[in-house]
Structure 1
Amino acid sequence: MKTWPITQAQQGIWLGQVKSPESTRYNTAEFIELNVALDSQKWLGAASRVLHRCTALNVQFVEMSGVLSQNPLCEAQRVKVLGEYLDLTNEVEPLDSAKRFLTNWYAQPYNLSEGHLYRHVLIKLATNHYYWALGAHHIALDGFSFSLLTNRVVAAYDGESVTSDEAQYLAILEEDTKYQHSTAYAQDKAYWLETLRDFPSAATLRAGDEPSGDEKIKVATTLSLKFN
């Protein structure tokens, strides 16, 4: 089994999640509004292929003897998540129904140790009117990542082949590891220790630490697409 290092950002998020296992504060989600004639099964298939090949979404985080690492899921473990399909065209207020569904859907937990890091759903609101929502744990995606993946899904739906981004992901891990062993890192650490020396101690995994409140962030974008 392959074992990869983690970035400092990933370690911070992992510690925060372990400290408050039931918290959903690290759940992230974005939905796009599609005002276009859409083949729903084709869209979900394209999204599934893109997400299946996204390395950041297909790793499990494992702690052994105090050392945290990430292991890429093998092909047998990488289940192609086809996503949900929800038809709300018969609802009196489909937009309200969709937002109520997404609020509950967004709050469902992820499992970092098993590599369950994402989910997606296509919601039909009316003829040529859809929401596609992608949810993920923040240890895997940030806001910029969502836009990149959305662009890749659109391209895949339009017929572009889907390839793995593992090489780029490993390059990021290597860059972060080099930084942690650099003179710049030592200087940055010294600066922040001095700057923050009068602040309370950082959160730990000790019993008795109070969990922070959940913070939910959602981003919506409207797309009027023309597919080839």
Structure 2
Amino acid sequence: MTAEPRGAAWLELTLAQLDFWEEFRFHPDRPLSTVAHCIEIEGAAEEIALVAALSRLAREAEVLALRFRDGPGGPRQRVDPGGVPAVRVQDLRGAADPEARARRMMADDIARPIDLERDPLAALWLLRVGPRRWLWYLRGHHIVLDGYGVSLIERRAGALYAEALGQCAGP
């Protein structure tokens, strides 16, 4: 069992989150409400800078590290610093069809049910499918992510990547 962070209060869910919580409780074995997006990156990407930017993004975007639990007062949430998703980097160029393999991996991930009390609620993958081609995959449960949130995360990732390359500074 992981130690509980000091001073981190368990907070009530929003009304929208309560809907996703109830959906999970009624259908815990179904992959409902998964939000995923893939960005194709073509060209001369700097892998070290890209991984550094995505790793920093994962630490900054606290929503990716939310943890949920149910109790006598109902479901609660809080940020779990130990739940920050690690960036999974995988070079698929050795596969017969790297892009098809990457797409299958993403589809399999989306098809898995997410247990809101036990499973990581977000994933960040960087899949290399060609000499100058990458796929950046972001997946989360809708209780923590929506389309607007994904767009903000993607915008921030771009800014952090530019900063890692020394092209601009900060937020």
TM-score computed with the length of structure 2 as normaliser: 0.82
- Please tell me whether the aligned partners of residues 4 and 71 of structure 1 are also in contact (alpha carbons under 8 angstroms): yes
Indicate which of 120, 124, 128 corresponds to 1:124. Answer: 128
Which structure carries more relative contact order (alpha carbon 8 Å, separation 6+)?
A: 1
Corresponding residue of 1:193: none
Count of aligned residue pairs for this structure pair: 159
Alpha carbons 1:5, 1:69 under 8 Å: kept: yes
Q: Which residue of 2 aligns with 1:135?
A: 139
- Is the partner of 2:152 in helix, strand or coil? helix
Task: Give, in angstroms, the shift of residue 134 of structure 1.
Answer: 0.5
Is 1:106 aligned to residue 129 of structure 2? no
Listed as ranges, the gaps of 5+ residues in structure 1 are 163-228
The yes-or-no answer on 1:94 pairing with 2:94 is no
1:188-199 correspondence to structure 2 within 5 Å? none
Aligned to 1:32: 39
Larger Rg: 1
CA contact (8 A) 1:40 1:122 kept: no
Greater than 6 Å deviation, 4+ residue runs: none
Structural RMSD (CA): 1.9
The whole-number CA distance in structure 1 between the counterparts of 2:104 and 2:58 is: 25
Where do 5+ consecutive residues of structure 2 fail to align?
Answer: 1-7, 164-168
Residues 1:82 and 1:61: Cα distance change in structure 2 (over 3 Å)? closer
- In percent, how many aligned pairs have the same letter? 25
Pair 90,71 (structure 1): closer, same or farther in 2 beyond 3 Å: closer
> In the aligned structure 2, how far is the partner of 1:78 from the partner of 1:61?
11
Contact 2:24 2:116 in 1 (8 A): no
Deviation at 1:161, TM superposition (A): 4.0
1:63-74 equivalence runs, <5 A: 63-73=70-80
**TM-score normalized by the length of structure 1:** 0.63
Residues 31, 111 of structure 2: 8 Å contact kept: yes
1:51 to 49, 58, 68: 58
Q: For residue 10 of structure 2, what is the aligned residue in structure 1? A: 3
